[in-house]
């Protein structure tokens, strides 16, 4: 990985990095915050939402004071492969900036859009090799990235010891964003989609017993709440199988980073407690 920018923040070091990915076949970008001290530190991977790059969370979420206090590395990768020759779509909710954290199987997406393998394989390996980590990690995200955090944690519980999300797409098989993306990336067979739907994974018992709690924050003034996000489906699935899930409906909050900045310290502390206990 090559460092392109470095900043000192709350006594820690924030780096923007780039590397050539063997998984996506493209250059990938990310940011990594390392708290002050010698380490080693547990890691929180953050997955961002539609249209975002690694920069949105890095500059807007205000997570690094809490990360410095709790001794937590935070890694924020880009949301998709990008570049010349990479498939794209004019719409904001498909293509570059909209990877949905799945490995695409359909043309023209399959060549580069392999975000599940990137996050759960290559990215973790690079971070553990380059930074003072304990090799214990959690995962969180927002919207499309909340969907990614939940599904990757449930599908790969050996990699993650904690999981949370802000305003996640709870059941992409049952909302317009997910139906559009999954049709394009995974094809028309809806039974294939279920393996990438957090509510359906919980209903099926995937990841059962692996997480003592799943923390979800959702603003009740979010314009996408009813049609796209549907957190009640997550709650119903968790209740049906006895999975502890803390769904906090936050009055008056919307879908923006102002919402995330208001509660990000709670999520950092939530992960830090579990990751420290797992060392």
Catalytic member of 21, 31, 140, 143: 143
Q: In this structure, what is the dihedral angle of CA atoms 260, 261, 262, 266, given to the nearest 10 degrees?
A: 80
Catalytic residue status for 255 = yes
- Label residue 162 left, alpha or beta by phi (over 0 means left) and psi (-120 to 50 means alpha): beta
Could you tell me which of 49, 51, 46 has the C-alpha nearest to residue 62? 46
Give the Cα separation of 207 and 210 in Å (integer).
6
Catalytic residue status for 222 = yes
Give the Cα separation of 151 and 68 in Å (integer).
27
Catalytic member of 70, 222, 267, 271: 222
Asked if residues 51 and 92 have their Cβ atoms less than 8 Å apart, the reply is yes
Catalytic residue status for 143 = yes
Catalytic member of 70, 196, 255, 271: 255
Which class for 165: exposed (0-12), middle (13-18), buried (19 or more C-beta within 10 A)? buried
> Which residues participate in catalysis according to the annotation?
143, 222, 255
């Amino acid at each position: 990985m090559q460092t392109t920018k470095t900043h000192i923040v709350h006594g820690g070091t924030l780096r923007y990095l780039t590397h050539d990915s063997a998984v996506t076949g493209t250059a990938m970008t990310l940011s990594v915050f390392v708290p002050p001290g010698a380490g080693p530190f547990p890691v929180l991977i953050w997955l961002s939402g539609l249209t975002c790059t690694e920069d949105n969370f890095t500059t807007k979420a205000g997570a690094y004071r809490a990360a410095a206090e709790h001794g937590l590395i935070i890694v924020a990768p880009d949301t998709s492969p990008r570049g010349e020759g990479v498939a794209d779509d004019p719409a904001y909710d498909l293509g570059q900036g909209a990877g949905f954290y799945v490995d695409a199987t359909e043309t023209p997406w399959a060549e580069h859009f392999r975000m599940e393998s990137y996050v759960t394989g290559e990215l973790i390996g690079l971070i553990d090799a380059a930074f003072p980590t304990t090799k214990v990690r959690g995962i969180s995200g927002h919207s499309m990235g909340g969907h990614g955090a939940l599904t990757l944690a449930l599908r790969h519980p050996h990699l993650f010891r904690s999981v949370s999300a802000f305003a996640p797409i709870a059941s992409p098989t049952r909302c317009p964003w997910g139906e559009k993306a999954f049709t394009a990336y995974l094809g028309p067979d809806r039974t294939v989609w279920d393996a990438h739907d957090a509510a359906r994974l919980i209903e099926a018992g995937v990841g059962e017993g692996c997480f003592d709690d799943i923390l979800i924050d959702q603003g009740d003034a979010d314009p996408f709440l009813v049609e796209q996000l549907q957190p009640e489906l997550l709650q119903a699935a968790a209740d049906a199988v006895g999975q502890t899930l803390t769904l906090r409906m936050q009055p008056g909050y919307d879908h923006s980073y102002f919402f995330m900045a208001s509660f990000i310290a709670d999520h950092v502390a939530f992960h830090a407690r579990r990751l420290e206990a797992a060392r």
